[in-house]
Amino acid sequence: MNFDPSWGQAGQSIQQFWQEQWGKSLQTLQQLQASAPAGLASMPGLGGVPQSWGGMMEALKSAMPQTAGAAGQSVQFDAPKLQSLQQEYVKAFQSLSDAQTIQAMLAKDKRFSKPEWSANPVAAMAAANYLLGSRMLTGMAEAVQGDDKTRSRVRFAVEQWVAAMAPSNFLALNADALNKIVETKGESLAQGISNLLADMRQGHVSMTDESLFTVGKNVATTEGAVVFENELFQLIEYKPLTTKVYEKPFLMVPPCINKFYILDLQPDNSVIRYAVSEGHHTFVVSWRNPDESLSGATWDDYIENGVLKAVSTVQDICAVPQINVLGFCVGGTMLTTAMAVLTARYTREHGQPAVKPTRSRSAAAKTTSKTTVKTEVTPFPVASMTLLTTLLDFSDTGILDIFIDENMVRLREMQMGKGGLMKGQDMASTFSFLRPNDLVWNYVVGNYLKGETPPPFDLLYWNSDSTNLPGPFYAWYLRNLYLENNLTKSGALTVCGETVDISAVKLPVYVYGSREDHIVPVSTAYASTQVLGGDLRFVMGASGHIAGVINPPAKNKRSHWLREDGEFPATFDDWTEGATEYPGSWWTDWSAWLGSHAGKQVAAPKNYGRAKAYAAIEDAPGRYVLAKV
């Protein structure tokens, strides 16, 4: 999930900062004898003397304007840590007189590792001083006293400032970019300016060559058709790839903050195509990209007219009493909420949902009865649920927690709680600044300073294809889930007229978390096992929020971890102690689990939809996914 920070729209302000510095750097290009362009003078270490430590304090305050001195108070530090850092700084600064030491420092950072940096004395000294200063600033951020949230905010603010102030971001000091200007006789500079203007027009930094991708042509290509649509979503049914399919169809619910085709990038890494090839009659929700006509849509609207409508429609199309479902990220949070609503309604009409017994077949065979009475039971509409990198317990939301507090949520409620749109590009920009060097400045340097076109990458194309969110939906989500963690509190929420209790959801659930996920920490994904009431299976995959999920078996990449004793200790650390690492993708384990809940094999349908009621509207991927923000 992406959020705009409460302390000042980090993504937008830093982008504005870059645009200003770009202009300054172009001016400074004509004065290369200067030691640094405008904007770098305040960078600690560029002063050339150890006494610049005093300026480090000012630099720290510049890095965190909203957190450095609330209510007029000065920043407080752990004195012993600060003294140790100062001694380390002086000692390290003295070592910069040795050229080999500087060269070794630059070689360890990919931004400065090319020979051009070491060969240019001005650039080498600027980079070395920057690395020393940024290391000390980071250490000072760790020495700030305060509660955990304040310290996390300081660390994040310093990380943003340090990343933005790297000499590699400034044309006048980027030795690699300057060398390329000479080699290309200025063509790289001209192309860089062209790239900058193009990105300013489209509203975001290009992370890939977007001209090489077309939705429905070389991404989102699995064959299917839209068989239902309303104001919130289109329902896509996919053409079977097997002669027989499982009798229980399979519905995927992606996050509504992104477009569904993260599950269908290319044929060789498509979760959707994999499910279809495994014999599942597969349907996917394609959320509409909200415009002003949906600016008043609420969380309840998305649950009732979105998730629950999709579930009942798949049942109706396939004429089956039960289906299997999957939710990814926020889609999993919405899906679990919908299951709690469905559970409350089912219980009121039919009593508690029947739970499949877990005893062995041999034990069941020993059970005898003098009379056998067949009772017609209406099954619960959903047979199993898969949750991928999903937040249910919001008590630990990782780095995103720094953005959420009462003031920020109240501001959003005032701005858009009754109507409005949370712009997709604002969320995407903030998400990128969670990893500023990899997802922002890396592309700024390549695209603009070097005039390069980033290589084609389907995942990054999808990442740039952002979507809006209705304001009331967004504000409700922030307060009730991120801020107050009400989904884990039985009876704290009323959704679609029903009291929500996710512990009453007794479905078999497959829970997946990614080990290096910075959006949904793996420990928080694991926490779902402590609040759901059904038969559970938890698996941890390697890598991050997206790459961990999109890991097809054919690639034979990354490991996954399982615990086969069926135990779910109170903490994730305790779970890992009993977990076993297995090489390769977790998809095969999940496929076997899903198949065990999918029923018998039946003949695959030959046509889309069902009769006139659900005739095919248009070919997949449909027109909803094509709408831009």
- With a cut of 80, say whether residue 59 has pLDDT above it: no
For position 161, what pLDDT does the model report? 86
396 domain residue, yes or no: yes
For position 384, what pLDDT does the model report? 98
394 and 295 fall within a common domain:
yes
Q: CB 110: neighbour CB atoms within 10 A? A: 11
pLDDT in tens, 65-74: 544 444 344 5
287 and 402 fall within a common domain:
yes
Of the candidates 323, 329, 337, the one whose C-alpha atom is nearest the C-alpha of residue 256 is 329
412 and 545 fall within a common domain:
yes
Distance CA 562, CA 597 (A): 19
156 and 249 fall within a common domain:
no
51 domain residue, yes or no: yes
Active site residue 318: no
Residue type, 269: N
475 and 612 fall within a common domain:
yes
Q: State the average pLDDT over residues 317-336.
A: 97
Q: What are 493's two structure tokens? A: 């929420």
552 domain residue, yes or no: yes
List 618's β-bridge partners, or say none: 226
Q: How many domains does the chain have?
A: 2
Query: Which of 15-19, 145-149, 164-168 has the lowest average pLDDT?
Result: 15-19
Domain end residue (candidates: 157, 185, 213): 185
Q: State the average pLDDT over residues 35-42.
A: 31
Catalytic residue among 256, 318, 329, 496: 329
265 and 153 fall within a common domain:
no
Structure confidence at residue 372 as a pLDDT band (50, 70, 90): very low
Distance CA 32, CA 285 (A): 55
For position 215, what pLDDT does the model report? 96
Of the candidates 253, 262, 261, the one whose C-alpha atom is nearest the C-alpha of residue 310 is 253
Q: Which residues contact 430 (CB under 8 A, 6 or more apart)?
A: 2, 3, 4, 5, 10, 11, 403
Structure confidence at residue 440 as a pLDDT band (50, 70, 90): confident
617 and 565 fall within a common domain:
yes
For position 415, what pLDDT does the model report? 93
For position 8, what pLDDT does the model report? 35
438 domain residue, yes or no: no
- Tell me the pairing of strands 618-619 and 469-470: unpaired
Of the candidates 62, 49, 20, 58, the one whose C-alpha atom is nearest the C-alpha of residue 170 is 20
pLDDT in tens, 200-254: 888 888 999 999 999 999 999 999 999 999 999 999 999 999 999 999 999 999 9
CB 239 within 8 A of CB 224: yes
- With a cut of 80, say whether residue 302 has pLDDT above it: yes
Q: State the average pLDDT over residues 380-401.
A: 93
536 domain residue, yes or no: yes
490 and 622 fall within a common domain:
yes
100 and 244 fall within a common domain:
no
Q: Which long-range contacts (CB under 8 A, 24 or more apart) does 152-159 make?
A: 152/399, 152/401, 152/402, 153/7, 153/64, 153/67, 153/402, 154/64, 154/67, 154/68, 156/5, 156/399, 156/402, 157/7, 157/63, 157/64, 157/66, 157/67, 158/60, 158/63, 158/64, 159/436
102 and 247 fall within a common domain:
no
Domain range enclosing 161: 47-64+78-185
Query: Which of 12-26, 90-104, 322-336, 351-365 has the lowest average pLDDT?
Result: 12-26
Q: State the average pLDDT over residues 577-592.
A: 96
- With a cut of 80, say whether residue 9 has pLDDT above it: no
499 domain residue, yes or no: yes
Query: Which of 11-20, 36-45, 462-471 has the lowest average pLDDT?
Result: 36-45
Query: Which of 23-37, 191-205, 458-472, 609-623 has the lowest average pLDDT?
Result: 23-37
Q: State the average pLDDT over residues 8-15.
A: 38
Domain end residue (candidates: 134, 168, 185): 185
Q: What percent of the chain has pLDDT over 90?
A: 63
For position 90, what pLDDT does the model report? 82
Structure confidence at residue 58 as a pLDDT band (50, 70, 90): low
For position 356, what pLDDT does the model report? 59
175 and 262 fall within a common domain:
no
Return the CA Rg of the chain: 27
pLDDT in tens, 503-531: 999 999 999 999 999 899 999 999 999 99
For position 509, what pLDDT does the model report? 98
Domain end residue (candidates: 185, 216, 246): 185
Q: State the average pLDDT over residues 302-307.
A: 98
Which run of H or E residues covers position 287?
Answer: strand 282-287
CATH code, domain with 415: 3.40.50.1820
Mean pLDDT of the chain: 85
For position 86, what pLDDT does the model report? 82
Q: What are 141's two structure tokens? A: 């951020």
37 domain residue, yes or no: no
229 and 135 fall within a common domain:
no
Q: How far is CA 382 from CA 169, 320, 324, 336, 595, in A?
A: 52, 10, 6, 11, 14
209 domain residue, yes or no: no
